[in-house]
C-alpha cells in the first residue's frame, strides 16, 4: 500500500465556559483528521483536575457519562497521531503532573529537535519519565522550580525547547497557548460567549459557534485567566518564519482558515497552477478522494477539462482483523476507493492526487483505471516531489523510502504505468498560497531545515541512555544497589 503522510496532532482548549469538557469534545471531533490513535480531555474547576484519555477515535472514547464527570469551566483536549513515541495509552495526551507549582496539563502538536538532549539531562537529574513522547519533556521542564540555576518560569522553559510546537497548557487558574518562534504549526484564538478558545484549526471554532479572533503569532505566549488575555513575546523578532506549507497542501481541513487564507481556496488554486504548468489533452480529470478533490476541481476550472468523481470513497473503513489479500487482490486499496468504470472507459483520464510518497497506491489507481478501459492515464500531483524526511512532526519516512528521492521522473512514471507524470513546481505551490516563500518551511521538498537537526547526536544520547539503564540493571542483578534506593 502507498504510504500517505500521517497527520500529527490536534489541540484544543477552552477557558470560562460552564460546559468546557463538552465543547472540548466537539472541538476534538472537528480536529479528528489530525490524529486517530488516541484522544483525551482534562477539565479543571479551579481546584481539581479531572482527566479521561483513551485509544481510538474521539467518539469511541467519550460518552455522556464520561463528559459529565469532567467538571469545570476550563479544559484542554488532544487528539493524537504518534510521530515520536509509540501508539499506546501511556503516551496519550493531555499529560498532567502535580508539582510544587500546582497541577499542570499539556497538549502538544509538533516535534522537538532537541528532545533526546533535554531528556538525557533531566534523567541524569533523577527525574522519572513515564512515557516515550517528547511532550512529557516539556511538562517536566515546566514543573521544575529552577532551570540553569535561575527561578524557572514559562518563558525560560519555552526558550529551552527547539523544533516545532504549538502548545496548550492548563494550570489551576489559567489557560496558556504557546507557538514556537518559527510558527511551524497552526494555533488560533477564538471567543465563545464570555469564554476564550484555543485550537489547532478554525474548523473547530465553527462547530461550537465560536468567533475567530486571530492566530497566535510565532513565538507568542498567550495567557488567559480571569483578567482576560495577556500576550508575551518570548523570542527576538528576527526569527525566520517557517510555517509548514503541507498544511495547505494536505493536512488542514479545507474549511479552515490559516494566516487569513482559506485552505479550500488555496487547494483550488494549487490545481489551477498545476493546469498552467501542465496542459494535457484529456477527456476528464479525476481526483483521488478526498485529498485531491480541490486541486482536481481547480485543474478542471483552469483547463476546461470536465471534472468527474470516478472514484467513490468508502467513509466507513476501519481496521479489519482479517487479512483477505489472498481472496481479494489489492483489498486494502480497493476497499477505500471504488472506481465507476463507466465514467472512464475509452477516455483519456487525468488523475490528480496531493502527493506521492512511496507510490504503491498510486500505481494501483492507475492499474484500476486501465483495467476499466481508460485509453490513457496521466498522473498529476498538486505539490512538488518529496525529497527529504520531516523532523518537525510529520511522519514522512526517511529518504531511502521516498520514491522521488531515489528515482527519476521517468522511472516513477514507468513504475506507475502512467502515460505521463508531472508535479507542481515549488514556485507554483508557493504562488497558490498568496504568501511569500520566505514564510514557509519546505524542507521536505528543498532540504532547507529552518531548525538545525543532527540525528547522530540523538543516536549517541539514546545509546548512552540505553547503556546507563543496562549498567544499572546489571548492578541490581549483582545486588550492588538496593532496589529501594531507585
Q: Are strands 9-15 and 420-423 parallel, antiparallel or unpaired?
A: unpaired
156 alpha carbon, distance to own chain's centre = 26
What DSSP element (H or E) covers 11? strand 9-15
Do the beta carbons of residue 21 and residue 74 sit within 8 Å?
A: no
Q: Are strands 74-80 and 9-15 parallel, antiparallel or unpaired?
A: antiparallel
Question: Among candidates 255, 271, 251, which has minimal Cα distance to 263?
Answer: 255
Alpha-carbon distance 432 to 297, whole Å? 14
473 by Cβ neighbours in 10 Å (0-12 / 13-18 / 19+) ranks as: exposed
Alpha-carbon distance 195 to 405, whole Å? 48
What is the full DSSP assignment across 91-126? G-SSEEEEETTEEEEEEEEEEETTHHHHHHHHHHTT
Distances (CA, A) of 346 to 7, 280, 283: 37, 17, 10
Options 9, 44, 390, 441, the catalytic residue: 9
C-alpha cell at 332: 486494502
376 alpha carbon, distance to own chain's centre = 35
Secondary structure letter of residue 341 according to DSSP: G
Question: Among candidates 83, 171, 202, which has minimal Cα distance to 135?
Answer: 83
Strand spans (E) along 193-242: 195-199, 211-215, 220-225, 228-233
Catalytic residue status for 390: no
Question: Among candidates 137, 143, 170, 142, which has minimal Cα distance to 155?
Answer: 142
Active site residues: 9
Amino acid at each position: 500500500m502507498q504510504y500517505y503522510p500521517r497527520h500529527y496532532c490536534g489541540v484544543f482548549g477552552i477557558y470560562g465556559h460552564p460546559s468546557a469538557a463538552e465543547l472540548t469534545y466537539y472541538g476534538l471531533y472537528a480536529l479528528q483528521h489530525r490524529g486517530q490513535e488516541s484522544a483525551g480531555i482534562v477539565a479543571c474547576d479551579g481546584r481539581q483536575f479531572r482527566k479521561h484519555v483513551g485509544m481510538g477515535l474521539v467518539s469511541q472514547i467519550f460518552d455522556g457519562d464520561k463528559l459529565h464527570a469532567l467538571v469545570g469551566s476550563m479544559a484542554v483536549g488532544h487528539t493524537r497521531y504518534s510521530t515520536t513515541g509509540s501508539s499506546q495509552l501511556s503516551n496519550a495526551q493531555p499529560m498532567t503532573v502535580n508539582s510544587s507549582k500546582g497541577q499542570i496539563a499539556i497538549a502538544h502538536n509538533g516535534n522537538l529537535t532537541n528532545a533526546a538532549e533535554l531528556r538525557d539531562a533531566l534523567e541524569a537529574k533523577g527525574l522519572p519519565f513515564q512515557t516515550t513522547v517528547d511532550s512529557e519533556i516539556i511538562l517536566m521542564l515546566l514543573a521544575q522550580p529552577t532551570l540553569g540555576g535561575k527561578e524557572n518560569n514559562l518563558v525560560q522553559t519555552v526558550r529551552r525547547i527547539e523544533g516545532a510546537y504549538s502548545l496548550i497548557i492548563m494550570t489551576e487558574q489559567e489557560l496558556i497557548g504557546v507557538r514556537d518562534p518559527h510558527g511551524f504549526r497552526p494555533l488560533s484564538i477564538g471567543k465563545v460567549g464570555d469564554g476564550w478558545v484555543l485550537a489547532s484549526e478554525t474548523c473547530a471554532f465553527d462547530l461550537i459557534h465560536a468567533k475567530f479572533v486571530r492566530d497566535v503569532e510565532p513565538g507568542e505566549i498567550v495567557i488567559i485567566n480571569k483578567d482576560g488575555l495577556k500576550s508575551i513575546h518570548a523570542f527576538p523578532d528576527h526569527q525566520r518564519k517557517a510555517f509548514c506549507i503541507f498544511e495547505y497542501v494536505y493536512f488542514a481541513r479545507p474549511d479552515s482558515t490559516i494566516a487569513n487564507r482559506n485552505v479550500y481556496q488555496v487547494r483550488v488554486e494549487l490545481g489551477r497552477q498545476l493546469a498552467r504548468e501542465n496542459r494535457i489533452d484529456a477527456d476528464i480529470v479525476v481526483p483521488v478522494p478526498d485529498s485531491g478533490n480541490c486541486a482536481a476541481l481547480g485543474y478542471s476550472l483552469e483547463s476546461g477539462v470536465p471534472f468527474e468523481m470516478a472514484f467513490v470513497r468508502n467513509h466507513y473503513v476501519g481496521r479489519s482483523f482479517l487479512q483477505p489479500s489472498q481472496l481479494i487482490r489489492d483489498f486494502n486499496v480497493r476497499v477505500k476507493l471504488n472506481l465507476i468504470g463507466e465514467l472512464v472507459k475509452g477516455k483519456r483520464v487525468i488523475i490528480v492526487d496531493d502527493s506521492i510518497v512511496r507510490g504503491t497506491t498510486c500505481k494501483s489507481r492507475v492499474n484500476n483505471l486501465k483495467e476499466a478501459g481508460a485509453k490513457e492515464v496521466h498522473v498529476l500531483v498538486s505539490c512538488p516531489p518529496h525529497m527529504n524526511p520531516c523532523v518537525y512532526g510529520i511522519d514522512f519516512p526517511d529518504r531511502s523510502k521516498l520514491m522521488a528521492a531515489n528515482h527519476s521522473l521517468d522511472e516513477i512514471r514507468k513504475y506507475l504505468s502512467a502515460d505521463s507524470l508531472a508535479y507542481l513546481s515549488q514556485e507554483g505551490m508557493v504562488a497558490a498560497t498568496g504568501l511569500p516563500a520566505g514564510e514557509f518551511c519546505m524542507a521536505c521538498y528543498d532540504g532547507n531545515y529552518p531548525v538545525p537537526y543532527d540525528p547522530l547526536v540523538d543516536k549517541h544520547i539514546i545509546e548512552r541512555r540505553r547503556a546507563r539503564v543496562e549498567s544499572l540493571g546489571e548492578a541490581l542483578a549483582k545486588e550492588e544497589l538496593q532496589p529501594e534506593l531507585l
